[in-house]
Amino acid sequence: MHTIVLATQKGGSGKSTLAIGLALAARQAGFTVRLIETDPQGTLSSWQRRRSDKDPVVEPIYHAANIEPRLKMLAESGLQLAIVDTAAGLSAATTAAIRHSDLCLIPARPSVADIEATLSTLSVARAWKRPYGFVLNQTPIRGQRIDNAADALAEEAALDLTEVLARPLIVMRNDHQDSLAAGLAVSEFAPSGKSAEEIRGLWRWIATRLDLSATTNLLIDQVISAADGILHVAAERASDETTLAS
């Protein structure tokens, strides 16, 4: 199992929305996924209550001491991916999650305050020698602010962003908040939209970084399920046409 943790000191960076979007993108790519909520604010739990499909499961774990044993149990169960949403700041639970992560994603909006707030999270990831990456989130569609933010991030973190700045950048669009309100991920809410395309692209960047591949059996099951659905729709249409003809 691989564990991805979304963490940053600053609130409002979009961690929860990214966690949901990535979980569904991973599931659609053939992975079994569990969303772990360590933020007592409960954004993921509220989202799941609005949702008719209970997959992926949202599992609250608010105490730092419970994180390592629970992740171990999930790994032993055969789960492929755990995505952990954390509270703003550096709580004991957030630090424990980063310590046991395979990748710590640090979201930041393109503002000085957000970029400065990434440093404390980065220091924890470095202290535990955990792989990390930055996600520029809620960006404008284009403009100098994006380039300035990337430059400021590189300067603040004192590193070359070539390997650690996730692509694509995630643009601020209404689809993200509208899908959250509907109990959906953006790839379900507007699957052909730009936001869904960006989230799928971000998932591919992560999958490449972690060298992930879905299990063959699960992919086969998904193909069979999709084929069954297509055949079912075709059969219903044929039946309707026969009824009209008679």
Q: How many domains is the chain built from? A: 2
- Residues 121 and 97: their CA atoms lie apart, in Å, by 12
Domain that holds residue 103: 2-214
Residues 164-214 pLDDT 10s: 889 898 999 999 999 999 999 999 999 999 999 999 999 999 999 999 876
Per-residue pLDDT at 235: 60
Say whether both 42 and 139 belong to one domain.
Answer: yes
158 token code pair: 């004192």
Say whether both 193 and 237 belong to one domain.
Answer: no
Helix (H, G, I), strand (E, B) or coil at 133: strand
Per-residue pLDDT at 238: 62
Answer whether 106's CB lies under 8 Å from 9's CB.
Answer: no
| Residue 150's CATH number | 3.40.50.300
Say whether both 194 and 220 belong to one domain.
Answer: no
164: phi then psi, degrees, rounded to nearest 5 = -115, -5
Report, in angstroms and rounded to the nearest whole number, the Rg of the chain calculated over CA atoms: 19
Say whether both 107 and 222 belong to one domain.
Answer: no
Residues 6+ apart with CB under 8 A from 215: 30, 32, 80
Residues 10-34 pLDDT 10s: 888 899 999 999 999 999 999 999 9
What average pLDDT does this structure show over 225-230?
A: 50
Residues 49-99 pLDDT 10s: 999 998 999 999 999 999 999 999 999 999 999 999 999 989 999 999 999
Say whether both 149 and 223 belong to one domain.
Answer: no
Place of tokens 């960047």: 205
Residues 6+ apart with CB under 8 A from 91: 38, 64
pLDDT category, 145, cuts 50, 70, 90? low
- Residues 82 and 61: their CA atoms lie apart, in Å, by 12
Say whether both 232 and 197 belong to one domain.
Answer: no
Give the percent of the chain with pLDDT over 70.
79
pLDDT at position 159 over 90:
no
Distance of CA 235 to CAs 166, 222, 238, Å? 44, 20, 5
Say whether both 224 and 206 belong to one domain.
Answer: no
Say whether both 221 and 171 belong to one domain.
Answer: no
Say whether both 232 and 170 belong to one domain.
Answer: no
More confident residue, 224 or 56: 56
Say whether both 110 and 181 belong to one domain.
Answer: yes
Burial class (CB in 10 A: 0-12, 13-18, 19+), 196: buried
Averaged confidence pLDDT in the chain: 86
Confidence (pTM) = 0.83
Answer whether 86's CB lies under 8 Å from 12's CB.
Answer: no
More confident residue, 115 or 145: 115
Write b or e for each residue in 61-97: b if 16 or more Cβ atoms lie within 10 A of its Cβ, otherwise e. Answer: beebeebeebbeebeeeebbbbbbbbbbebbebbbbb
Say whether both 99 and 59 belong to one domain.
Answer: yes
User: What residue type is assigned to position 168 of the chain?
Assistant: P
Answer whether 151's CB lies under 8 Å from 117's CB.
Answer: no
Say whether both 232 and 201 belong to one domain.
Answer: no
CA atoms within 13 A on the CB side of 21: 31
117 token code pair: 């707030």
- Residues 184 and 180: their CA atoms lie apart, in Å, by 6
What average pLDDT does this structure show over 140-154?
A: 68
What average pLDDT does this structure show over 146-157?
A: 67
Per-residue pLDDT at 197: 96
